[in-house]
Structure formats: C-alpha cells, structure tokens
C-alpha cells in the first residue's frame, strides 16, 4: 500500500510538472510580478542605499508573498474544470498524499524560482552580504508554508467562480506569522546577530504545515465537490 501511494505521489508530481512546462507563459507571471514590484520600490521610496537596505527584507518578502498568492489559483482550478479533481478525490489512494504532490509541484515551479531571483533583487536593494544567506534560508523554509496554507484556501474556494477576493481574505491572515519572522530574521542578520530562533520557528511552521495542511486540503476538497 505504501509503495502504491508513493507511486501515485510520483505520478501526480510528474503530471503537474509536465502540465506546468506546457504552460510556461503562465508560470512567468508571478516571477515578473515579483521582479517588477521589488524593482519599482526604489523609484517610489528613495534610491539611498541606507533606506533601501533597511527596507529590503520586508519589501522582498511582501513581494514574494503576493507573487505566491498570484499563482495559487492555478493549483486546483484546471483539475476542477476537467473533472480530474473529482477522480483524485474518488481514488483509492490517500487524497492527502496526492494533494502533497500537487503542492510540491506548485512550489517547484513558483516558489523555487523566487528563491533563485531573491538574492539578485537583494543586491539591487543593497542588502548586506551577511543577510543574503539568511534571506535564502527564510525563503526555503517560508515559501513551502505559503504554498501549503494557500492550498487550503484554494481548496475551499475552487468551486466558486470569483473566489479570488475570498481566497485573499482566508489566506492573508495566516501568512502574517511567516512574514513577520522571516523579515525579522533577515533584519537581525543584517545587524550581525543570531537568527536561530526565527529560523527554528519557521522550520516548526513548515513541519506543522506539512503534517496538517494536506489533511485539511483533502477535507476542503471533499466539501467543495460535495
């Protein structure tokens, strides 16, 4: 049974990655949004390096959070439209395992590119080298949490025609702890202080999200498809 579930997990992961590769133009939208928001910020605030250095962690993380939200709607929408989501819920495999595969695929095509681009934008905002590694660590720990929490909101609103606003209202309050601790960790690292506490908290949130979010998504999908 475990081998069958693992095989189903890999199959769903490969399927979603293949579909994402076929629609590369849609994947570029969140990344372009991320780059544009961070790039325009110096023009709207100030080009002074000290000011940008202070604001850089918050700017990068807010832009990453909004870019992640921008890509959430595609997580289950196409599967709901073609009936694949109903088949997934009715399958003999645990729905939570299949959901975890879809969330992982979503993070690989949206969250991982954000992590790659973030250091370049950190240089643009004069982020100190000491804080650059911490920025990457916080994004590695935080962006999967954003995808997992966002999947719950998408599962609850997938049956609605215009669920974007409702999705924002459901998800944004749950994103706040990740934003606060991640941005604070980068700020503290820029001052040369230890950030182990903030990173441990983000790691705990990630473990909690991986453990509980797939179960919550599976239950939300059953409610939406009922």
CA distance linking residue 97 with residue 77, whole number of Å? 18
Counted domains in the chain:
1
State residue 44's pLDDT score. Answer: 81
State residue 180's pLDDT score. Answer: 94
**pLDDT 10s digits, 178-209:** 999 999 999 999 888 889 999 999 999 999 99
CA distance linking residue 44 with residue 226, whole number of Å? 47
Residue 180: both structure tokens together: 């606060």
162 Cα distance to chain centroid: 21
State residue 29's pLDDT score. Answer: 84
Long-range contacts of the stretch 179-184 (C-beta < 8 A, 24+): 179/61, 179/62, 179/65, 181/138, 182/57, 182/61, 182/138, 182/139, 182/141, 182/142, 183/57, 183/58, 183/61, 183/138, 184/57
Residue entry with tokens 């991640």: 182
State residue 181's pLDDT score. Answer: 94
Domain that holds residue 194: 2-225
Taking 50 as the pLDDT cut, the residues of the chain under it are: none
Q: Is the pTM of this model over 0.75?
A: yes
State residue 2's pLDDT score. Answer: 56
149 close to 175: Cβ distance less than 8 angstroms: yes
**pLDDT 10s digits, 149-184:** 999 988 888 877 666 677 888 888 899 999 999 999
75: nearest Cα among 151, 144, 126: 151
Q: What are phi and psi of 90, to 5 degrees?
A: -85, -10
State residue 167's pLDDT score. Answer: 80
Dmax over CA atoms of the chain, in Å, equals 59
């Amino acid at each position: 049974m475990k081998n069958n579930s693992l095989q189903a997990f890999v199959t769903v992961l490969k399927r979603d990655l293949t579909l994402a590769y076929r629609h590369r133009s849609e994947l570029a939208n969140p990344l372009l949004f991320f780059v544009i928001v961070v790039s325009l910020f110096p023009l709207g605030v100030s080009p002074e390096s000290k000011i940008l250095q202070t604001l850089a962690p918050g700017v990068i993380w807010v832009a990453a959070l909004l870019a992640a939200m921008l890509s959430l709607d595609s997580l289950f929408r196409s599967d709901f439209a073609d009936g694949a989501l109903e088949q997934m819920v009715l399958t003999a495999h645990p729905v939570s395992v299949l959901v975890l595969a879809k969330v992982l695929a979503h993070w690989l095509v949206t969250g991982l590119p954000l992590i790659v681009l973030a250091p370049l934008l950190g240089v643009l905002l004069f982020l100190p080298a000491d804080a650059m590694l911490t920025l990457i660590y916080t994004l590695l720990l935080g962006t999967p949490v954003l995808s997992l929490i966002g999947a719950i909101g998408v599962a609850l609103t997938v049956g609605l025609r215009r669920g974007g606003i409702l999705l924002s209202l459901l998800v944004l309050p749950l994103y706040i702890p990740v934003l606060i601790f991640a941005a604070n960790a980068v700020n503290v690292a820029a001052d040369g202080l230890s950030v182990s506490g903030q990173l441990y908290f983000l790691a705990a949130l990630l473990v909690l999200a991986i453990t509980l979010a797939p179960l919550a998504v599976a239950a939300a999908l059953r409610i939406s498809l009922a």
